[in-house]
């Protein structure tokens, strides 16, 4: 059975991208087109049809907040900033990511997990 891109996206990569978005929103304003370019730089080809709903979903979760723009500029890109809740989410994810990273790469070196029952 071949690994399908769509499978990887749905099961894992969507979460990776959300972490990227939270991380960059912590540094400053983010918007769709910039995020697409940033993810491309990391080797991910993500379409607007995937990214924009992701940003909207993160807005609904209360992790991102649209930056208010003047009425005259309503056709401008939608810019987001990180909320307090988003910042809390990022903090938790960082801790767990660090733990996960340690485990996954440690295991790779040792070739064996240490929590396996005898
Ligand atoms: Zn990045």
Residue 79 and residue 31 in contact, taking contact as beta carbons nearer than 8 Å = yes
DSSP state for residue 9 in the 8-state scheme:
I
Distance 117 CA to ligand 1 centre (A): 37
Nearest 5°: the CA angle 68, 72, 74 is 55
Full residue range of the structural domain in which residue 41 is found? 14-110
Q: Is residue 86 part of a domain?
A: yes
Check whether 4 has a pLDDT greater than 60: yes
CATH number, domain of 40, equals 1.10.10.10
Distance 69 CA to ligand 1 centre (A): 25
Arithmetic mean of pLDDT, 83-109:
93
Check whether 92 has a pLDDT greater than 90: yes
Q: Is residue 65 part of a domain?
A: yes
Count of domains in the chain? 1
Distance 24 CA to ligand 1 centre (A): 7
Arithmetic mean of pLDDT, 77-89:
96
């Amino acid at each position: 059975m071949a690994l399908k891109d769509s499978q990887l996206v749905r099961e894992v990569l969507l979460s990776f991208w959300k972490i990227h978005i939270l991380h960059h929103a912590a540094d400053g304003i983010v918007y769709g087109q910039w995020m697409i370019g940033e993810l491309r730089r990391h080797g991910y080809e993500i379409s607007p049809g995937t990214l924009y709903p992701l940003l909207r979903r993160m807005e609904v979760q209360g992790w991102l907040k649209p930056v208010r723009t003047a009425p005259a500029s309503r056709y401008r890109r939608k810019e987001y900033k990180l909320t307090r809740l988003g910042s809390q989410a990022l903090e938790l994810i960082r801790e767990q990511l660090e733990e996960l990273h340690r485990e996954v790469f440690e295991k790779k070196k040792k070739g064996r997990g240490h929590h396996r029952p005898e």
